[in-house]
Amino acid sequence: MHVLIIYWSATGNTKKVADTIRDTLVKDGITPVFKIVSDAAAEDLHSYDLVFIGAPTYQWQPPEPVLKYINDRMDYYRKTNGIKVGAPKVPGKTAVIFITYSGPHTGIKEATPAGDYLEQFFEHIGFDVAAKWYTVGEFHNRLEMSTKGPLGDTRGRPNQQDLQEIASKASALIKKLIA
């Protein structure tokens, strides 16, 4: 199985999740290609069976470098007739979205639009989106945002338990896909 993991991370939370997915896959015998989005422009997504994309949420969207990556890819697929009416599935192509968020104002609702946005990209290019994973992350250098919001004290997250959950989900997904 060919697997690509691409992500962007400013303060390390999303990178921790990406690293956990990579390490889990390696334990399960798969060596994924692992890149930050700015290095992934030349990757042909359809040459992979499984693509993971990860980002934090900024104002309920992926941050600018991730939006730029998606916009560039959409331009490419439009020019090469890769965006088809009805978004037919390309057989055997699966994507997983992973989002980290701090949720200081409205909790996970600040993250789901970013996940839905990335899901739409993959559905437009014919991928089946198998899962969207949302992981709480500390809002670094913003104490009030990390302690007074609806999620309580998020300092130190994603913590071991958060990452263990990601590892379990990644392992289960791989087993399901190769079954």
| Binding positions for ligand FMN, rule: CB under 6 A | 9-15, 56-60, 100-103, 110-111, 137, 139
> How near is the Cβ of 102 to ligand FMN at its closest, in Å?
4
What's the start-to-end Cα distance of the chain, in Å?
Answer: 12
Question: Which residue, 94 or 100, is less far from ligand FMN as judged by CB?
Answer: 100
> How near is the Cβ of 143 to ligand FMN at its closest, in Å?
13
Strands (E), 45-106: 50-56, 94-101
**Host H or E run for residue 163:** helix 160-178
> How near is the Cβ of 26 to ligand FMN at its closest, in Å?
21
> How near is the Cβ of 64 to ligand FMN at its closest, in Å?
10
Question: Which residue, 59 or 80, is less far from ligand FMN as judged by CB?
Answer: 59
Q: Tokens 């055997």 correspond to what residue?
A: 92
Peptide bond between residue 56 and the one before it cis (omega within 30 degrees of 0): no
Question: Which residue, 32 or 103, is less far from ligand FMN as judged by CB?
Answer: 103
Distance CA 125, CA 115 (A): 16
Question: Which residue, 82 or 113, is less far from ligand FMN as judged by CB?
Answer: 113
Distance CA 98, CA 16 (A): 11
> How near is the Cβ of 108 to ligand FMN at its closest, in Å?
8
Residue 90 in contact with residue 44, Cβ under 8 Å? no
Question: Which residue, 32 or 137, is less far from ligand FMN as judged by CB?
Answer: 137
